Structure 1
Amino acid sequence: MNALVRESLFGRLSNFLTNSKFFPYPELEAPKIKALSVSASVSATSSTSTAPEPIQQFLVEFSGPDDPDTPRNWSKLAKTLVMLDVMFLNFSFYAASAIFTPSITGIEEQFGATTAEGTLGLSLFVIAYGIGPLFLSPLSNLPAIGRTPVYVLGSLVFCLFNIGTALGKNIETILILRFFGGLFGSAPISVGGATLMEVYGPSEVPYAIALYAIFGTLVIERWNTWTASLWLLAGITAFTTLFIFFLLPETLSSNILLRRAQRLRTQTGNSLYRSQSEMDTPTTSFGTMIFKQTVNDFKLSCMDPVFVNIHTMLIYGILYLWFEFFPFVFDGIYHFTPIEQALAFLGILVGAVTSVVAYVLWLHFSYQPRASRPDTSIEPEARLVPGQIGAICIPICLFIFAWTSRPGVHWIVPIIGTAFFAPGFYLTFQSILNYLGESYPRHVASVFAGNTFFRSSFGGALPLAAPRMLQSLGIGWASSTLGFISIAMLPLPFILERYGKRLRSWSKFAN
């Protein structure tokens, strides 16, 4: 437990201020020596260059596969707390989109805003958290910074923007603060997957958007104000910020080794101890490193996994656009009260629980037994099998919802149809993100950041089309249009399973 707190931002700041006396580190053994050549030196009295002379550098590395500082060698308690930290971060951030939705009507009434302006509070937030990873992910990849400061500072700023939004006096302030809240609060989706892979391997938080929609609406009904959900969100993020400040250890290996090298220089008085990151970029400026990392992230996202990113982009767009149909159906057709409209999301929640259980059972009884065989090599494409089932579930959901949402059909039928969306969404994303993580293990944070940019930019813009779409097509053909798009996307996981290995063999980034 001492090591866990010592590696948190609280522990690192405490040791910085007390010269490592608050949470002392154990003595380190001297690492192996690595010879490093420098450029030729030129004498001031001669025009003849001397030959390069090797400089003895003490390369600081992990002592071996069992090094206790390696994140995957941490105790079960430490790993469990990391998992809880990332879950809290994801829950508090993803809640901010769904929990805001019930506030839109109140904002429109109080500030005289149009429906499009009210919906912008959701759209700008989603678009912003697609942009945020493009600079937060490179920032967290820098050995001098690491993951933890990005998490903590991002969560703190996100909390402050939520408070500012709740105190907003006009629609312009609310929209601006929602955008910047999404921009700076996107740390968990920028690097959350990378953190979990550094500790466990690929893993994602289960689908929970329906729960937050219910929770947010219940709070608004209780206190009868649109700001209630934002104050609730500020409270959640304040708790999360404190929790991760004290109990989220650093997982970036290059940062761990950089700080180990710094301790060795202090412990021995020998300035030749260097981590690999210090040897690679001895004189590169901070701004240059950020710029290069950002450009590399964007290049990687637009080159290798671009078809996968387009696929998730379309699914994400369908998700957010389809959710805008719910008030039209359950208020306009079935005349539900606000609480009943929120409870209509229970179909999605039931489907989410079912899909999570099914996915865990598939891992336990099918994937893990094959992966644990010493004579078997499992390719990343094996992760796509659940996604193939998910790709089939999405159009089933959309067509049922399209043609049963009418006064002559009982309201339970379209709600049953919505249950198919959760396994479609969850299984597809679980498969694709695990596939990306295993295909690009050296660039996992960059790949996840690029995927987030693609899907969130599209997902944030599409809800604005919902009113015109429903007005022109009606619920039947509007939802069916999304169903036809999902059918067109259906073959991709099957194609990727068959040809993914060949595509990876052409890449300089893939494993």
Structure 2
Amino acid sequence: MDTPSAASGDNPRLWSSRKKLRHFVIVCFFSGWTSIATTGYLPMQAVVTAEFSVSPTTFLVGNLLFFSVGVAFTPLLVSPLSEILGRRRIYLVSTLGFALLCIPPAAVPAPTFWPTLLARLLQGCFASVGNSTTAGTVSDLYGAGSRGLPMSILCLAIYVGQGVGPPLSSAILAAGISWRWIYALWALVVFGLFLVLALFFCETRPAVSSRDAEPDSELGNKEGAATREKVRFGQAVRISLSRSAWWLVSEPIVSCFALWVGFLWGCIFLIIESVPTVFEAYGWSEVQKSSVLLAISVGGVFGWLINLHQDKIYSKAAKRAAPDEPGPEARLYWACVAAVVAPMGFFIYAWTGRASITPVAPIVGLTMFSTATFILYVASWSYLADAYSIYAASALAAQSWLRNFLAGIFTLVAPRMYEDLSPPIASTMLACIALGLAVCPFVFFFYGPRIRARSKVASSVATAHGS
């Protein structure tokens, strides 16, 4: 059996299919469970606010801290560090930290809600690795020609987890079990994942793998701590920590994808918070209303199946471009379709969620929006991974920052927004914005090569790969 150390210094893309599959399954589970813990927080609102006598807004600050501070900001530091220190070290620290931080809310009764909020913030910091760095691992394991399917499966794990989280927590609460046991479940599962990582996960970052294989490359030992480019380690850390933040404003490709996908992602979490309000018209129980969110998971599966066809399109483009790699624009065929379907689904969700219309209608609209958003989500990951190659983790971390920041904000404003504007008007307003943003994939599809040519980073990567 392969040992967790990367002493062989081999290229992860040359590993056996079985070894790559093992590592891929581990990071998919990490990402999926992180999503379950993310959305599984919301159903606890009624019991937690009653126990601590706090307002719903104060409770939702927990998700604001989790997303907008923890999950959003931490990847700007951690993902570039994973490119220097390695993925494995980052994964071990993040899973252990997340598991330990679930213990206080689960086992230590507090007189106020603030310790739980603090724990939620720190949980977001550690959980962020499962939302960003895992994509870098996929890029480590698979080349552009074979990356589409693994990347889509990773995205599916994240997406399905978001739809599973609320029904799972609601079912636990409906069974009369304390909300603290939800945290206990999270802790047990993530600690088990930590053990799996420690025993079965090898380093996948090639530069780190090679450096660790050399006797004189240990940290703190003269030149051994330098990167392959012979840059001092401390200087490399400072450069890497600022890379994602700078790319968010200096790289138009990263900026555009971050804004576009970030808005749609925020809408998914706004919908998660709005579903109880919309489906109140049908007189459903909390468990029934939470079950509606499984439409997000179903939409993710539909989107994944559609992405299989997108992958075939990319494969044909790869054959035509051989021996070079095809341009990232080959990832966007179905994204152009999904960009139009997303606002259509949102409009259906907006105007059919009422007692006089069957509940199947808004669920269909939600499924359409979810399917389209998944396709766009995968397309953005794949496009950025292709355009930035070995620096994919930094580009994806920048995109993740805005995406998760908006998720936290949208979750916080959703109740007031749907109460003040009414569900149809609130959803219609967001659908109109989504319709306006539908132009994004078409711009990149037709003008992507020109845009990438004006990017110093993307153009240098393209030159290195001969495309």
TM-score above 0.5: yes
Aligned residue identity for 1:101: L
C-alpha RMSD of matched pairs (Å): 2.2
Aligned residue identity for 1:281: V
Deviations 1:231-290 (A, max 9, x none): 11112111111111111110111111112222799xxxxx999797266125x43xx433
Matches of residues 242-321 of structure 1 in structure 2 within 5 Å?
242-262=195-215, 277=227, 280-282=230-232, 284-285=233-234, 288-304=235-251, 305-321=254-270
| Counterpart in the other structure of 2:175 | 222
| Counterpart in the other structure of 2:4 | 5
> How many Å separate the matches in 1 of 2:430 and 2:96?
37
Aligned residue identity for 2:102: N
1:161 to 62, 76, 101: 101
3-state secondary structure, aligned to 2:349 = helix
Q: How has the CA–CA distance of structure 1 residues 275 and 392 changed in structure 2, closer, same or farther, with 3 Å as cutoff? A: same
1:187 to 124, 129, 140: 129
> How many Å separate the matches in 2 of 1:223 and 1:139?
43
3-state secondary structure, aligned to 2:248 = helix
> How many Å separate the matches in 1 of 2:303 and 2:261?
18
Q: Aligned pair 1:83/2:24, yes or no?
A: yes
Aligned residue identity for 2:231: T
> How many Å separate the matches in 2 of 1:129 and 1:456?
6
> How many Å separate the matches in 1 of 2:181 and 2:217?
51
Structure 2, gaps ≥5 residues long: 463-467
| Counterpart in the other structure of 2:91 | 151
3-state secondary structure, aligned to 1:250 = coil
Contact 2:381–2:396 (CA<8 Å) still a contact in 1? yes
Contact 1:165–1:178 (CA<8 Å) still a contact in 2? no
Aligned residue identity for 2:182: S
> How many Å separate the matches in 1 of 2:281 and 2:413?
20
| Counterpart in the other structure of 1:132 | 74
3-state secondary structure, aligned to 1:441 = helix
> How many Å separate the matches in 1 of 2:268 and 2:217?
51
Contact 2:336–2:442 (CA<8 Å) still a contact in 1? yes
3-state secondary structure, aligned to 1:249 = coil
Aligned residue identity for 2:340: I
> How many Å separate the matches in 1 of 2:381 and 2:188?
30
> How many Å separate the matches in 2 of 1:466 and 1:496?
31
Aligned residue identity for 2:246: K
2:408 to 439, 442, 460: 460
Q: How has the CA–CA distance of structure 1 residues 244 and 301 changed in structure 2, closer, same or farther, with 3 Å as cutoff? A: same
Q: How has the CA–CA distance of structure 1 residues 276 and 116 changed in structure 2, closer, same or farther, with 3 Å as cutoff? A: closer
3-state secondary structure, aligned to 2:358 = coil
1:327 to 247, 272, 276: 276
Q: What's the offset of the Cα at 1:108?
A: 0.7
3-state secondary structure, aligned to 1:205 = helix
- Structure exhibiting the larger radius of gyration computed from Cα positions: 1
| Counterpart in the other structure of 2:319 | 372
| Counterpart in the other structure of 1:231 | 184
Deviations 1:475-503 (A, max 9, x none): 11011011011001011110111111101
Contact 1:385–1:431 (CA<8 Å) still a contact in 2? no
> More helix per residue: 1 or 2?
2
Structure 1, gaps ≥5 residues long: 8-24, 27-61, 63-68, 266-270
Q: How has the CA–CA distance of structure 1 residues 156 and 223 changed in structure 2, closer, same or farther, with 3 Å as cutoff? A: farther
Q: What's the offset of the Cα at 1:216?
A: 2.1
The 10-residue stretch of structure 1 (372-381 or 390-399) with the greater mean CA deviation from structure 2? 372-381
Q: Aligned pair 1:342/2:290, yes or no?
A: yes
> How many Å separate the matches in 1 of 2:403 and 2:135?
16
> How many Å separate the matches in 1 of 2:311 and 2:365?
26
> How many Å separate the matches in 2 of 1:456 and 1:278?
32
| Counterpart in the other structure of 2:465 | none
2:430 to 482, 486, 492: 482
Q: What's the offset of the Cα at 1:6?
A: 3.8
> How many Å separate the matches in 1 of 2:299 and 2:169?
20
Aligned residue identity for 1:313: G
> How many Å separate the matches in 1 of 2:215 and 2:324?
41
